[in-house]
Amino acid sequence: MTKFIKKFQASESGMRMIEMFYPTKKNDPEHRALFSRAMNRYKNCTQKKNISQIKREIQVCKKHWKCYPHHYFMYDLYRRDMQLTDDQLKDYIPHFYWYYLFLPHHRSSKFKILTSNKIITDQIFRSLKIPQPETLFYILNGQIYSPEMVILTSDRIEKLLNTATLEKIFVKPAHGSGGYGIHIFHKTEKGHYVTQQNVILNRDFLNIIKNKQDYIVQRGIKQDPEISEMYPGSINTMRIIVENNRGIVRIVCAVIRIGRGQSEVDNASSGGIFLTIDINNGKLGDYAVSYNGERFEEHPDTHFIFKNFEISRWNEITRFILEAGGKMPFFTYLGWDIAMTADGPLVIEINSNPAHDIMEISSMGLGKAFHIEDPDYYWKNPGKRI
């Protein structure tokens, strides 16, 4: 019976049944919350197109992708200042299509652990010599290990922390995403490492968290001054989606995510803002946006103006990401989170299930960029990697 259910779920009929209940599925709470907020914005919007135009545009999208375009509301495409042609409307990829049809078709599930567990990702990157932040130790199955997988005693860890000269230390859940669950410790004048919430990184703290879940503990990096100028309170990472199609590697799209409001993380789901990067020259979009539909021509805290700004070391970042992407042929598409330091780019993490919405919200649709010429193909071939 279980095999039959799995086979049905992976069929076109099964996918169409799942789509009927999307995004109300319990296993997708983040998307459900975003859609709920989007519908509240729609109800309160006073600058909507007339209802007949909205209905027609929804139908155009639905007919093209064969699923309901929830993104029409999430991206505020109903606003009068979003006058798009039918071809432009059809270029936006619906969330269901992206997560349930397109990505699974290109993703090999047997390699999922390479990206879902930061400790394993760290080990893979070390072996492939892909630059990343320095790892201090792991917390794994209630024990503390060195990067070489040697068990460390509490005394050795305490000595390491007492003699460290690092400005920041990041303690990240091995299975976390979206910036949730990260502890960021700053070194005080007394030599202790303390969070903004006055949590101290010491033996007691480690004893508490090591029995809850696994963590990776890394040195805080020093951001390139040019990127830090946008907002110095967080590491402002670039999310770059890279395609590795049988060894042919290309950058598909890119955005930069920026923290705000005293936040130490840049994730859009944690309140950060984001804007597109022209992959040809590193030029930023004219304005940044948020998941709440806000638009900013300048950063709300630093007043950094985005329009006409180009990332001066974009060619360096491009070379770096193409080389790194070539070393990870396990997936056709990966989302790479890249931080820029004075010494060059580093990989913060990778994601085999990267969100495409921050790319589309901050620019335009991505259907052509991902070469989706026949939407029916993915309906008829769900879960089959090319």
Percent of the chain with pLDDT over 90: 70
Separation between Cα atoms, residue 125 and residue 345, nearest integer Å:
14
Is residue 283 within 8 Å of 310, Cβ to Cβ?
A: yes
Query: What's the pLDDT score for residue 1?
Result: 43
Only one residue has tokens 């390491």, namely 160
d(CA 321, CA 253): 12
Closest by CA position to 250, among listed 352, 332, 354: 332
The model's confidence at residue 125, banded by pLDDT at 50, 70 and 90, is very high
Strand partners, 296: 288
Mean pLDDT of 194-223: 92
Residues above pLDDT 70, as percent of the chain: 91
Task: Indicate whether 97 pLDDT > 90.
Answer: yes
3-state helix, strand, coil in the chain (%, to 5): 35, 20, 45
The strand pairing partners of 169, in sequence order, are 185, 219
Q: Contact at 8 Å (CB) between 77 and 55? A: no
| Predicted local confidence at residue 222, as pLDDT | 92
pLDDT tens-digit series, residues 328-365: 999 999 999 999 999 999 999 999 999 899 999 988 89
- Greatest Cα pair distance, the chain, in angstroms, is 70
Tokens of 73: 């509301």
Residue with tokens 């299930």: 353
At a CB cut-off of 8 Å and minimum separation 6, what does 218 contact? 133, 134, 135, 136, 169, 170, 172
Q: What is the pLDDT of residues 166-197, one digit of tens each?
A: 899 999 999 876 667 899 999 998 888 999 89
Helix (H) or strand (E) holding 227: helix 225-228
**Residue 24 in this model has a pLDDT that exceeds 90:** no
Residue 228: which H helix or E strand, with range? helix 225-228
Query: How far apart are alpha carbons 283 and 355 in whole angstroms?
Result: 21
Scanning the structure block, which residue is given the tokens 């027609």? 56
In the predicted structure, residue 372 carries a pLDDT above the cut 70: yes
> Using 50, 70 and 90 to split pLDDT, how confident is the model at 4?
very low
Is 100 in contact with 19 (CB distance < 8 Å)? Answer: yes
Asked if residue 40 has pLDDT above 50, the reply is yes
Task: Work out the mean pLDDT of the chain and round it to a whole number.
Answer: 89
Q: Pick the closest to residue 231 from 175, 273, 174, 176 (CA basis).
A: 273
Spatial strand order of the sheet with 215-219 comes to 143-145, 135-140, 215-219, 168-173, 183-187, 193-194
Residue 4 burial by Cβ neighbours in a 10 Å radius (0-12, 13-18, 19+):
exposed
Q: Token match 């492939």: residue?
A: 128
Distances (CA, A) of 378 to 59, 65, 216, 309, 369: 20, 10, 37, 38, 16
Please tell me the predicted confidence (pLDDT) of residue 155: 87
Helix 2-9 with 12-20: angle, nearest 10 deg? 80
Rounded to whole angstroms, what are the CA distances from 295 to 58, 130, 292, 299? 23, 35, 9, 10
Is the predicted pLDDT of residue 122 greater than 60, yes or no? Answer: yes
Omega cis (within 30) before 225: no
Q: Cα-flanking dihedrals φ and ψ of residue 27, to 5°?
A: -85, 10
What per-residue confidence (pLDDT) applies to 271? 77
The model's pLDDT over 258-316, given as tens digits with 9 standing for 90+, comes to 999 877 776 766 678 999 999 999 999 999 999 888 899 999 999 999 999 999 999 99
- Note the pTM of the prediction, 2 decimals: 0.90
Question: Rounded mean pLDDT of 70-88?
Answer: 94
- What is the pLDDT at residue 14? 67
pLDDT digits (tens, 9 = 90+) for 219-253: 999 999 999 999 999 999 999 999 999 999 999 99
Asked whether the predicted pLDDT for residue 386 surpasses 60, the reply is: no
**Nearest-angstrom CA–CA distance, 329 and 242:** 11
**pLDDT of amino acid 3:** 54
Is residue 147 scored above 60 in pLDDT?
yes
Q: What is the pLDDT of residue 85?
A: 96
| Confidence label for 385 from pLDDT (cuts 50, 70 and 90) | low
What torsion do the CA atoms of 9, 10, 14, 20 make, to the nearest 10 degrees? 90
